[in-house]
A and B are shown apart, each in its own frame.
Chain A
C-alpha cells in the first residue's frame, strides 16, 4: 500500500471491484480495501443473475456458471405450482470464482487490492474527504486519496461518516438466511419461488440449483417479522417438509435493503455503490448486476473527475444522475410493485396462481404476471392503486 492514491474503494465485492476496474483502466491509481481475508468469501448471496443483466455488464466466462436456468416455478401458499419458461434465461453463478476473476481484472488494469483491511474512519478536513483510516494486519494506516468509493455493503458506514443518511428501516430490510444443500433432488434448469405468510411473510423463499443434486435454499422476509419467528426457523421447517434427506454445506445470513436508491449517493470526494447505496432491485433483492452497473458508472466518473481536478459533490453527481437513468428509475417502479405484492393475502396469491395457469407458460413473464393478476382481480387492482396513485 502506498501513502496516496487517486481513488480508494472500500469493499471488494462486485460493485467495488467493478468501480475499481473502470477507474484503473482510465489511468487512475486505485486501491481496493476489503475487510475480509479473501476476495469472494464468504458468498453471502443466492448467486442468481438474469442472462440479459449479466451480459450487459461483462463478457461471461464459462467457469463462472454453475447452471443455466431455463424456467421458473412459482408456488402459491396452497401449493399450486405455476411453471414459466420466459424468453430471458438466467444463470446461477459460482460467485467466489466470479469475484476472484473480477479482482484479477482490477489488477490487470493496474489497480491494487488489500484484504484483511478494515476501514475504521475517513480523513475529513472542512467537510472535504481526503482519505481513509485503515486497520491492516494489526497496524493503523492513514491513506490519502481524492475520491473514496464506499462499496462496503449493507453494513456500510462510509456513507454515514460522510454525513449521508444510509440507514434502512427495519420494515424495508429483508432479513435473509440461506443454506447450501446437497444430496437433494433438484431440477438443475429451474429456479423455484415459494410464497405465503407461513413460508416467508412479505418476502419469498427460493431454491436456486447449483448442480444436479445441490441448491441454494434460502428466504428473505420483511425485517418487521423476525422478532416473532426467525427466518432460520421458517427455513428449517421448509427444508424438513420438502426434502426427505439432505446435507447442509453452509448456512449464511444477510440483509438486503428493499427500497429505492438513496436520494444522495455522492458527497464531496465520496460516492456510494451497491448495497451501500441501496441499489439492489427492491422486488427481487438481486444486487450483483445493479452493483456492477453502478460500479462501472462510478469508476468512470471518479477517474474523469480526478483527472479534471474537480471531485466536488456537483461533479460527482453525474454518477447519481446516470445511475438513475440506467437503473435507479426501474428500482422505483420495482419498489412500488413490491409494495403491492406485500398487500396480497395468501388467498389473493392462490387466486393469482389459478389465473396464471390459464396463460401459456412461454408468456408468463414477470410483468405480464403482474398485469394479469391485477386485471383479472379487481380487488387487487384497488390494492395496487393505493400504492401507485
Chain B
C-alpha cells in the first residue's frame, strides 16, 4: 500500500504541509515530523506544497 514519506534529511520543519492537510494527519515538532497513516488519505497536497521537495508518496 502506498504511503507518504517525508525525508527528514531534507525537511526544514516549516509546517507548510501541516497547514494544507485536510485530515490533520501531520504532527510537527521542533525537528521531527510524522504522518498518521490512519488519518492520511494520500491526497498528495503535502507533497505538492513542499518548497524543498521533501515529501514523496511511495
Q: Which residues of A contact B (CB under 8 A)?
A: 35-37, 44, 116, 118, 153-157, 160, 166-170, 173, 175-177, 223-224, 226-227, 230-232, 251-255, 257
Q: If A167-B20, A167-B22, A255-B19 touch, does A44 touch B48 (CB 8 Å cutoff)?
A: no
User: Are the CB atoms of A253 and B19 closer together than 8 Å?
Assistant: no
A255 with B30: CB separation less than 8 A: no
Question: Chain B residues near A153 (CB, 8 Å)?
Answer: 15
Q: Is the CB of B49 within 8 A of A173?
A: yes
With the chains together, A116 CA to B24 CA distance in Å?
22
Q: Is the CB of B24 within 8 A of A173?
A: no
Residues of A contacting B19 with CB < 8 Å?
154-156, 166-168, 173, 255, 257
Q: Does B52 contact A231, Cβ atoms closer than 8 Å?
A: yes
A-B contact pairs, 7 of them (CB 8 A): A156-B19, A167-B21, A170-B48, A252-B12, A254-B16, A255-B15, A257-B19
Residues in B whose Cβ lies below 8 Å from that of A116: 30
**Which single member of A160, A173, A253 contacts B20 (CB below 8 Å)?**
A173
Task: List B residues 3-58 near A (Cβ within 8 Å).
Answer: 12, 14-22, 24, 28-30, 45, 47-53
Tell me, rounded to whole Å, the shortest Cβ–Cβ distance linking A174 to chain B.
9
Q: By the criterion CB–CB under 8 Å, are B52 and A154 in contact?
A: no
Cα–Cα distance between A253 and B15 once the two chains are bound (Å): 9
Given A170-B45, A173-B20, check contact A226 B15 (CB 8 Å). no
Q: How far is the CB of A250 from chain B (nearest CB, A)?
A: 10
Partner of B15, one of A154, A177, A227: A154
| Chain B contact patch, size range | 20 to 34
Flag if A254 contacts B30 (CB, 8 Å): no
User: Are B18 and A175 touching (Cβ within 8 A)?
Assistant: no
**Inter-subunit contact B48/A224 (CB<8 Å):** yes
Q: Is the CB of A169 within 8 A of B16?
A: no
Alpha-carbon separation in the docked complex, A177 to B14 (Å): 10
Pick the contact of B53 from A154, A168, A230, A257 — CB < 8 Å? A230
Do A175 and B30 touch (CB < 8 A)?
no
| Given A44-B14, A168-B20: A231 touches B30 (CB 8 Å cut-off) | no
Q: Do residues B30 and A118 form an inter-chain contact, with CB atoms below 8 A?
A: yes
Q: Which chain A residues lie closer than 8 Å to B21 at the CB level?
A: 167
Distance, CA A46 to CA B45, complexed state (A): 25
**Smallest beta-carbon distance A137→chain B, Å:** 12
Given contacts A173-B20, A253-B52, A255-B15, 11 further A-B contacts (CB under 8 A): A118-B30, A155-B16, A155-B28, A170-B48, A173-B19, A223-B20, A226-B53, A230-B52, A231-B51, A254-B16, A255-B17
Chain A contacts of B49 at CB under 8 A?
Answer: 170, 173, 175, 223, 226, 255
Name the distance in Å between A370's Cβ and chain B's nearest Cβ.
28
Interface centre among A44, A177, A227 (most CB of B within 10 A): A227
A42 shortest CB reach to chain B, Å: 8
A117 to chain B minimum Cβ distance, whole angstroms, is: 10
Residues in A whose Cβ lies below 8 Å from that of B17? 255
B residues less than 8 Å from A176 (CB atoms): 16, 51
Listed from nearest, the 6 A-B pairs whose CB atoms lie closest are: A155-B15, A255-B16, A155-B18, A223-B49, A253-B51, A231-B51
Check A177 against B51 for contact (C-beta < 8 Å): yes
Interchain CA distance A231-B49 in the complex, whole Å:
10
Q: Give the residue name and chain of the A residue nearest to B53 (CB).
A: A230
A166, A170, A173, A177 interface centre (most CB from chain B within 10 Å): A170
Counting chain A CB atoms within 10 Å of each CB, which of B50, B51, B53 scores highest?
A: B51
- B17 to chain A minimum Cβ distance, whole angstroms, is 8
Give the Cβ gap from A282 to chain B, nearest Cβ, in Å.
Answer: 14
Is the beta-carbon distance between B20 and A169 smaller than 8 angstroms? yes
With a CB–CB cut-off of 8 A, which chain A residues contact B18? 154-155, 157
Q: Which A residues lie within 8 Å of B45 (CB)?
A: 170
User: What residues of chain B lie closer than 8 Å to A227, measured between beta carbons?
Assistant: 47-48
B51 touching A175, Cβ below 8 Å: yes
Cα distance, A37 to B30, chains bound together (Å)? 8
Chain A hits for B47, CB < 8 A = 227
Q: How far is the CB of B55 from chain A (nearest CB, A)?
A: 10
* Cα of A176 to Cα of B28 in the assembled complex, Å: 18
